[in-house]
Amino acid sequence: MRPLFTQRRVAASAGAFLDGLLGAERRKTGWMRAEAAGDPGPWRQQAVLGRGRWDADALRDVVRDYALETLADPDAVLVLDETGFLKQGKASCGVHRQYTGSAGKTTNCQIGVFAAYVSQHGHAFIDRALYLPQTWTSDPARLAAAHVPKGTTFATKPGLALAMIEQAMAAGVPFSWVAADTVYGVGDIEMALRRAGKGYVLGVKSDHAFNSWAGKPLVEQEPVWWTPRALSREVF
């Protein structure tokens, strides 16, 4: 990560921050992470997250390339899914009352969409995106207060996932399949994967209608009970 930071001490604080997150402490407060790093207070690590200027997407690329050194495989699968982070208050970027599987209900939380690379060698996250509800993207003052980059507009979860798929393909990430649940199972993602010649296993609702194309084999629809909702999968 060192090239991402202009000063060595800031890079060291970033490393200490990550070490703290991976440490044995059950609660990861700023003071606890600072104590584990031997710092007099949490200010150095807070500076990395707040006042420091560095390119998060460049760090994403570093992580992705590092993971692929070990995990790369032409038959790998790109797995897309979202998860929620329970929050209090209204100031955390993207926080909103919305459904999250983390709690199994609608509650105050942030939602992140993630891409994981899975091969016979192992698996690792290689991309991420914070979902911003329309209550955020329609409020410029709120976006500015949370330091959201100018020009950010509303994007659906499938839209964020599609951008990550396209980013992976543009970076030459080797994979043959994409897997995702019903949130991502129809629409632009399916068509983009067809055009790219990628296989996919995408969950759809049990009442979704499938159509066959001329000269193509019939689609087999097999019910699968992955969650309390009835899902189907498209098999080729």
> 61 and 160: one domain?
yes
- For 93-115, the pLDDT digits (tens) are 999 999 998 889 999 999 999 99
Domain finish residue from 136, 156, 176 = 176
Say if residue 215's pLDDT is above 70. Answer: no
Mean of pLDDT over the chain: 87
In terms of residue numbers, what domain contains 44?
A: 1-54
Share of the chain above pLDDT 90, in %: 60
Specify the pLDDT at position 23. Answer: 84
Q: Which of 13, 60, 59 is nearest to 37 (CA)?
A: 13
> 27 and 118: one domain?
no
- Name the helix (H) or strand (E) containing 58: helix 56-71
Average of per-residue pLDDT across 52-78: 95
Say if residue 212's pLDDT is above 70. Answer: no
> 134 and 65: one domain?
yes
> 67 and 145: one domain?
yes
Q: Residue 173 contacts by C-beta under 8 Å, 6 or more apart in sequence?
A: 64, 68, 72, 78, 117, 126
- For 83-95, the pLDDT digits (tens) are 999 998 999 999 9
For the chain, the domain total comes to: 2
> 28 and 62: one domain?
no
Q: Residue 230 contacts by C-beta under 8 Å, 6 or more apart in sequence?
A: 205, 206, 223
> 61 and 85: one domain?
yes
Please indicate, yes or no, whether the overall pTM of this predicted structure exceeds 0.75. Answer: yes
Q: Which of 83, 78, 10, 85 is nearest to 43 (CA)?
A: 10
Say if residue 166's pLDDT is above 90. Answer: yes
**At 214, is the pLDDT very low, low, confident or very high (cuts 50, 70, 90)?**
low
Average of per-residue pLDDT across 137-145: 95
Say if residues 236 and 210 touch (Cβ distance below 8 Å).
no
Three-state DSSP class for residue 66: helix
Residue of 23 and 128 predicted with greater confidence: 128
Say if residue 123's pLDDT is above 90. Answer: yes
